């Protein structure tokens, strides 16, 4: 993959972004709180528990920034910002059930508090609530985009389940993370563009920005799963390997390592446990073959592609933030 570098606007920091988006993000948070209230107490409790769990709110931020490239002033960005965060939250609920997760963002996962049955139904309710709100916008292009998104995400989850415990190719890995993560980033940018009245070319460029940013985000997320501490991650280290998931650094090493190294990695993936092979053993193999560095390098390439996709947009404040975001994604520590 070749990604020609483009110049970046002057440095920006988190405080500037918060100041730029503070009121809209607060409004989205309130909307999220209102939208996840049900006359069924368990749904309201689970929804509020998930909302209070926090998160970076990157997805609604992308939607807001995309719409601001066109000076969009309507309330649709608030409502739809809440919609994409609710969809994201619903996927996390289902993911935790499928993965039998115990911890999410440093707290007990919802399924450990309410059980799988209630959480499956709460996740389903969140999906339906998100579409109910989206329908109120009376914009069929946005609705079609969100429906296509959820289909891709569900397909991605099913494909990943089929591949658990198996050694997959790099192309298969990229397809999985595109469906599970990058497509939502892409849709957030596309929805903002639709709200702002973008041309088809502008909409496509912003969708490409989101996709490439999402690819970089997930590659880095997968590296951090292997290298960061449990305190930083808010969940056990090497969760992906314990669940039988193969990520980019592991694939890179498998393509280069000796038979005995390959057997160590393969044993962990097949057993979905570190039986006789330690996390340190796997890290040593990855470092020996510079596989962590290779994954970071690919994330940086996707980050550059993201910046390239918006280089022709006017130099407004939202563009400055969007040009900074890929660096934040690649350099983050959690």
Q: Could you tell me the CATH superfamily of domain 14-331?
A: Farnesyl Diphosphate Synthase (1.10.600.10)
pTM of the model: 0.92
**Residues 246, 270: Cα–Cα separation, whole Å:** 11
- For the segment 218-251, what is each residue's pLDDT rounded down to a tens digit? 999 999 999 988 878 877 889 999 999 999 999 9
% of the chain with per-residue pLDDT over 90? 82
**pLDDT category, 105, cuts 50, 70, 90?**
confident
Nearest CA among 189, 173, 160 for reference residue 69? 189
% of the chain with per-residue pLDDT over 70? 95
What is the separation of C-alpha 332 from the centre of its chain, rounded to a whole number of angstroms?
14
Which pLDDT does position 184 carry in this prediction? 98
Does the pLDDT at position 10 exceed 50?
no
Which pLDDT does position 7 carry in this prediction? 39
Residue with more model confidence, 106 or 5:
106
Does the pLDDT at position 1 exceed 60?
no
Nearest CA among 186, 183, 190, 182 for reference residue 141? 190
- For the segment 146-199, what is each residue's pLDDT rounded down to a tens digit? 999 999 999 999 999 999 999 999 999 999 999 999 999 999 999 999 999 999
| R_g of the chain, CA atoms, integer Å | 20
Q: Are 256 and 295 in contact (CB under 8 A)?
A: no
**pLDDT category, 14, cuts 50, 70, 90?**
low
Does the pLDDT at position 331 exceed 70?
yes
Q: How many CB atoms lie within 10 A of CB 256?
A: 14
Does the pLDDT at position 277 exceed 60?
yes
How big is the CA angle at 182 (ends 177 and 185), to the nearest 5 degrees?
Answer: 155
The arithmetic mean of pLDDT across residues 22-43, rounded, is: 94
- For the segment 296-317, what is each residue's pLDDT rounded down to a tens digit? 999 999 999 999 999 999 999 9
**Residues 69, 272: Cα–Cα separation, whole Å:** 45
Which pLDDT does position 8 carry in this prediction? 41
Residue with more model confidence, 203 or 108:
203
Which pLDDT does position 300 carry in this prediction? 97
**pLDDT category, 104, cuts 50, 70, 90?**
confident
Does the pLDDT at position 88 exceed 80?
yes
In order, the DSSP letters of 30-99 are: HHHHHHT--SSHHHHHHHHHHHHT----HHHHHHHHHHHTTT--STHHHHHHHHHHHHHHHHHHHHHHHH
The arithmetic mean of pLDDT across residues 268-283, rounded, is: 93
**Residues 151, 320: Cα–Cα separation, whole Å:** 32
**pLDDT category, 4, cuts 50, 70, 90?**
very low
Does the pLDDT at position 259 exceed 50?
yes
Which pLDDT does position 235 carry in this prediction? 79
- For the chain, the distance separating the N- and C-terminal CA atoms, rounded to the nearest angstrom, is 26
**Residues 195, 137: Cα–Cα separation, whole Å:** 10
Which pLDDT does position 314 carry in this prediction? 94
Which pLDDT does position 231 carry in this prediction? 78
The arithmetic mean of pLDDT across residues 98-115, rounded, is: 88
State the chain's mean pLDDT as an integer.
Answer: 92
Q: Where are the domains of the chain?
A: 14-331
Nearest CA among 153, 213, 160, 212 for reference residue 180? 153
Nearest CA among 161, 159, 155, 177 for reference residue 225? 177
């Amino acid at each position: 993959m070749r990604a020609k570098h483009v110049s970046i606007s002057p440095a920006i920091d988190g405080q500037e972004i918060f100041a730029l988006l503070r009121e809209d993000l607060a409004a989205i948070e309130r909307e999220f709180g209102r939208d996840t209230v049900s006359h069924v107490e368990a749904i309201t409790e689970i929804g509020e528990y998930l909302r209070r769990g926090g998160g970076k709110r990157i997805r609604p931020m992308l939607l807001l920034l995309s719409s601001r490239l066109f000076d969009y002033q309507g309330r649709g960005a608030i409502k739809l910002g809440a919609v994409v965060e609710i969809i994201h939250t619903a996927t996390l609920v289902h993911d935790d059930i499928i993965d039998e997760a115990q911890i999410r963002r440093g707290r007990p996962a919802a399924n450990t508090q309410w059980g799988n049955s209630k959480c499956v139904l709460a996740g389903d309710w969140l999906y339906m609530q998100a579409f109910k709100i989206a329908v109120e916008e009376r914009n069929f292009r946005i609705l079609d985009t969100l429906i296509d998104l959820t289909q891709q995400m569900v397909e991605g989850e099913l494909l990943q389940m089929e591949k658990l415990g198996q050694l997959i190719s790099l192309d298969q890995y990229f397809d999985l993370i595109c469906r599970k993560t990058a497509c939502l980033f892409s849709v957030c940018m596309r929805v903002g563009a639709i709200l702002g009245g973008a041309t088809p070319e502008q909409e496509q460029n912003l969708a490409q920005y989101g996709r490439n940013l999402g690819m970089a985000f997930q590659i880095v997320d997968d590296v951090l799963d292997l290298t960061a501490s449990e305190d930083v991650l808010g969940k056990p280290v090497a969760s992906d390997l314990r669940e039988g998931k193969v990520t980019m650094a592991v694939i890179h090493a498998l393509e280069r390592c000796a038979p005995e190294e390959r057997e160590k990695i393969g044993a962990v993936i097949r057993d979905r446990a570190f039986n006789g092979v330690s996390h340190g053993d796997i890290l040593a193999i990855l470092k020996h073959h510079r596989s962590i560095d290779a994954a970071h390098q690919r994330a940086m390439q996707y980050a550059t592609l993201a910046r390239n996709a918006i280089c022709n947009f006017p130099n407004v404040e939202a563009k400055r933030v969007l040009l900074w975001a890929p660096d934040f994604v690649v350099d983050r520590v959690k």
